[in-house]
Structure 1
Amino acid sequence: MNATAHALAGSPTLWELLRRRATRSPGRTALLQGDRAITFGELRERAERVAAGLHDQGVRPGTPVVWQLPTRIETVLLSLALARLGAVQSPLIPYARDREVSFALRAARARFFAVPGEWRGFDHTAMGRRIGAPGLFEAYAHLPEGDPAVLPPPPVSGTEVRWIYWTSGTTSEPKGVLHTDRSLIAGGATLGHALGLTRDDVGSIAFPYAHIGGADYLVMLLLYGFPALLIEHFALPRSLAEYRRHRVTTAGGSTAFYSLFLAEQRKQPGRPLLPALRLLAGGGAPKPPELYHEVVRELGCRLTHGYGMTEVPMITMGSPRDTPEELATTEGRPPPGMEIRVVDGEIRLRGEAVCRGYLDPAHTAAAFDQDGFLRTGDLGHLTPSGHLVLTGRRKDIIIRKGENISAREIEELLHGHPGIADVAVIGLSDPLRGERVCAVVEQPPGAPALTLAEVVAHLRERGLATHKLPERLEVVEALPRSDTLRKVLKYRLRERFA
């Protein structure tokens, strides 16, 4: 039986996974944060008391609860308490503001809204009052607790929709993505198996726990019994002390995290940045092959990259058992039970980790084909070995004079230019060509000003076809990024430079 099938046997709930782990290894550390630590046994006991406190306030099975909380131990406790009650929980990243929060509360029909109070200079409680949030409470100053004797039995099936995650909005409102405990467990189980993690590892969650990767990472902890360091606000070099103190063995999050660690390593070449680190892993954004080789060579650890999205948290994942070439140029292989179909270049998915659809039935109908495969909008192909290669997105294809141009291909070639720290290639409307190719770049500190001629010459040297060469260059202080996995928001660049 493969790892996913074993984890899903009997369709367990997230709470059942915690019960099993707390019974098997109650004294093992589960979460670390600063000077604080909590064991799996304590995690279960405290989460049950919080569940009782929420029950006293009126939270019942199926009650919609929106929470907007940073990456803290209390956030995990609250989420597990809601799982114990069988409530429908909807996490929001703490950077969302009035408009996005109001929409989520309305769309999810929330009856309660948990906030951190004031966090990083913003008063979430005041925002909640301003927008008329129902059942507003501060989860840290007043995390409710009660007597577990009042609780009804925990949910017994992991197949009911109990999670609403939100996709990033571009030109329209965000979409509410419907998940079950089963789909999240499938994602976490396959991720842990692909990475080859053991109970001797020390993980890390340096991204917002409200991201779908938060619940998936928790699943890994419960299945494998290793601890994770929680980083409330990831910033280098400040966060390095915590990684070193707790001897973190596996870190990451996305391509941006790899680049940040690499930049710090380059400040002290020859001296290991994180001596205990053996693996960087992540996903959520393209990984240039050159970056893979730089990380392995300079940080002295393995790097495995994967492919996932809010709708399907684990699609493919590189494995330490893959060859360097496979790790550098692909997104890994799908686990057993994840079906990938490529239709006209588009990747379509069916499997246990795929969401149940969206809050809006019209979005669901448009997203799934007649065979039940999710249309991802991503373009790519499978290699003979079964590894997935991503080549871009349908909306990230630039059509110039009728020719399709992959923005990702140009970005990967530009990544190796010494005067470019990061780059995004976009298509801009052109009355004669349809679209023109525009490269938007961040430069390293102190680098000489870059010119379009230099960019074009660099790409010519690397054999890029003439019709794909950028016709416009924009240099920005910083590319706009999402607040979760730091993905570049290309729609903002298109709006700015249109």
Structure 2
Amino acid sequence: MMQGRSEMIGDAAGPRYSIDAVRYRPIAEARRQLADGNWLDLTIGETLRQAARERPDTVAVVDRDGVTTYARLDADTESVAAALLDLGLHPGDRVLFQLGTTREYFTAFYGCMKAGVVPVCTLPQYRSLEMEHFAQATDARAIFVQADCNPSFDQVGFAQQLAASCTALEHVVVVRGERDGCVSLAAAAQAYPIEEARVRTGDVAPNALDVAVFQLSGGSTSLPKIIPRMHGEYLGAVRHLSQRYDLTDADVTLWGLPLVHNAGTMFAVLPVTLDRRTLVLQSRLDMREMLELIARHRVTFTGSIGPVAAKLLEIDDLHRHDIGSLRQFFALASAEAVERHVGLPVGQMFGMTEGMVFASSPHDPPAIRHRTIGYPISPGDEVRLLVPGEEAEVAFGDIGELCFRGPSTLTGYVGDEEATAASFTASGFMRSGDLMRAHDIDGTVCYSFEGRIKDNINRGGEKIGAEEIEALVARHPDVADVRVVAMPDPIYGEKVCAYVIPQAGCDCVTVASLGEFLLGLGIAKYKLPERVEAIDAFPLTRVGKADKAMLREMVAAAIAAETRQTA
């Protein structure tokens, strides 16, 4: 087993840099997970140091602006770590991330890992409503922000305003740009020669139990909840994911989606250093560019979260592109259609930031790859399908709520004991809110996704809580009541539809007027309703609640009728 420069777990009684409001696993369980091979006794910063020692001149990351070798990334991030400590940050402190898909993300991320500083993985699209919440909930002391992420929005100015309104937020670190009064990541990366930086960071020695990052849930009822992911378990999950896909250091991954998400971290960020797998980045989704990058860099592995699969199916001259290096492709849906289109193995997968990932192997039969989401990536994962709201298991083959426990399962939402208590069964299984069905295919038990209990919308991989949007729409003076549901979309899978009961004497709000109002409240643009339906009264269930299933059927039927009319 790989070891870093510190003793890692050794005789430790727990994490080295404990954070209040985080639930940690008992040391005995940690040792059991390590012994079983489900965790790695290693930290994320050490994976980069080891990779640089073994392959200093190998290319780690490629983007449109150039390449970064392991040696260069190691030196730059060691300097960043030392510079963060010079700012007065300490191991265990939290910092907000609002960064896009560029090589500089790795400089910021691994710099934090080496300083023991914990990134809070937010999106550049988030605005004041979300960012103030995350800053206050985590007591974040700094924010990393990308200056050129959005040419029509002053991301750095926004970060400065956020820092002025949040007392704990002391530093703004600017990535891909500079601004007076802010710290430049580029300057921090060159502040120290590597050996001098190593002296400065030498006393920072987290272990496998320490928190590496705070990820965010796809919450259904409010702003996303905060999920701690620890070094050892996160690395163990990434190793299992790579093994499921038969990926090695000879593979080249292409990633054109957010790096900051759990999916980006597991498929792209951590395998660069853990598995020594070269990563090619695409800053914005463009299918023609994606195909060119596959050919240029001999990409062997990529996939679809959100609109990638749908847009790939629209390419009708795929035979003109050299994608012969690709060995496999993953998808959240439409695997059979994509496989038929690209002519290589495609399998569906499913993952939750709370710690459960299902996937199939490229060697599995099509029935598993196409009709199911596969099976748990870790041999330590346990799955139960329960009657929703109860603790009884459904019969094999019946639909039930996915409940799970295992080496990476959430220990508890940060600072939210109520949500934590509501999320577990009496026997310690995490309730997912997702409906699944078990199948036995050629002796392998695998699962198919059958819908959701939780009331959220999945817009191209970004989860939007329906109740969060309803509470904000209800503040509009012309709205008497509102229900928000998912409506089907051929590219993003789902978008937000708002069914609105107007105030007496008022016209129904429009998509444009409602969007302007909601943006004024400070929410991310991708959460805005993209269809508004006026309604006199909501259909009701037998217990008198608004029947959202019926509303979803109504908007789907309306969209289908409109599509037929324009065909």
* TM-score, with structure 1 as normaliser: 0.77
1:11 aligns with 2:70: no
Match of 1:20 in 2: 50
Tell me which of 366, 375, 387 is aligned to 1:333: 375
Pairwise CA distance, 1:251: 1.1
What CA RMSD, in Å, does the superposition of the two structures yield over aligned residues?
Answer: 3.1
Gaps of 5+ in 2: 2-32, 178-183, 388-399, 457-486, 500-537
Match of 2:172 in 1: 136
Match of 2:406 in 1: 351
Match of 1:485 in 2: none
Q: Secondary structure at the match of 1:177?
A: strand
Q: Deviations over 1:132-187 (max 9, x none)?
A: 25212213331113341222433241112232112245552221112111232122
Q: Secondary structure at the match of 1:233?
A: coil
Match of 2:326 in 1: 277
The one-letter amino acid paired with 1:276 is S
Contact 1:7–1:185 under 8 Å retained in 2: no
* Separation of aligned partners in 1, 2:114 and 2:282: 25
* Separation of aligned partners in 2, 1:350 and 1:140: 40
Q: How does 1:480-495 map to 2 (within 5 A)?
A: none
Match of 2:258 in 1: 208
Gaps of 5+ in 1: 398-413, 452-474, 476-498
* Separation of aligned partners in 1, 2:541 and 2:379: 48
Give the direction of change, closer, same or farther, for the CA distance of 1:231–1:7 in structure 2 (3 Å limit). Answer: farther
Match of 1:304 in 2: 347
Tell me which of 450, 463, 476 is aligned to 2:564: 450
Give the direction of change, closer, same or farther, for the CA distance of 1:52–1:12 in structure 2 (3 Å limit). Answer: same
Give the direction of change, closer, same or farther, for the CA distance of 1:156–1:173 in structure 2 (3 Å limit). Answer: closer
* TM-score, with structure 2 as normaliser: 0.68
Match of 1:219 in 2: 270
Q: Deviations over 1:108-144 (max 9, x none)?
A: 1101111112422211111122232521221333111
The one-letter amino acid paired with 2:125 is Y
Pairwise CA distance, 1:274: 2.5
Identity %: 25
* Separation of aligned partners in 2, 1:441 and 1:50: 54
Match of 1:50 in 2: 80
Pairwise CA distance, 1:4: 8.9
1:232 aligns with 2:283: yes
1:364 aligns with 2:420: yes
* Separation of aligned partners in 1, 2:451 and 2:121: 28
Match of 2:293 in 1: 242
Match of 1:459 in 2: none
* Separation of aligned partners in 2, 1:432 and 1:137: 51
Tell me which of 148, 154, 157 is aligned to 1:126: 157
Pairwise CA distance, 1:103: 1.0
Contact 1:380–1:392 under 8 Å retained in 2: yes
Q: How does 1:375-394 map to 2 (within 5 A)?
A: 375-384=431-440, 385-394=444-453
Match of 2:96 in 1: 66
Q: Secondary structure at the match of 1:220?
A: helix
Q: Secondary structure at the match of 2:307?
A: helix
Match of 1:374 in 2: 430
Give the direction of change, closer, same or farther, for the CA distance of 1:201–1:27 in structure 2 (3 Å limit). Answer: same
* Separation of aligned partners in 2, 1:245 and 1:50: 31
Pairwise CA distance, 1:441: 7.9
Tell me which of 527, 538, 556 is aligned to 1:440: 556
1:183 aligns with 2:233: yes
Q: Deviations over 1:273-305 (max 9, x none)?
A: 63322211144xxx2xxx322211221121122
The one-letter amino acid paired with 1:137 is V
Pairwise CA distance, 1:45: 1.8
1:112 aligns with 2:142: yes
The one-letter amino acid paired with 1:130 is Q
Match of 1:455 in 2: none
Give the direction of change, closer, same or farther, for the CA distance of 1:35–1:449 in structure 2 (3 Å limit). Answer: closer
Contact 1:251–1:279 under 8 Å retained in 2: yes
Contact 2:40–2:236 under 8 Å retained in 1: no
The one-letter amino acid paired with 2:173 is F
Contact 1:424–1:441 under 8 Å retained in 2: no
Give the direction of change, closer, same or farther, for the CA distance of 1:421–1:26 in structure 2 (3 Å limit). Answer: closer
* Separation of aligned partners in 2, 1:159 and 1:188: 16
The one-letter amino acid paired with 1:275 is G
Of 136-145 and 320-329, more deviation after overlay is shown by 136-145
* Separation of aligned partners in 2, 1:196 and 1:317: 12
Q: Secondary structure at the match of 1:66?
A: strand
Q: Secondary structure at the match of 2:320?
A: coil
Contact 1:34–1:242 under 8 Å retained in 2: no
Q: Deviations over 1:184-216 (max 9, x none)?
A: 212211110011112221102211111112222
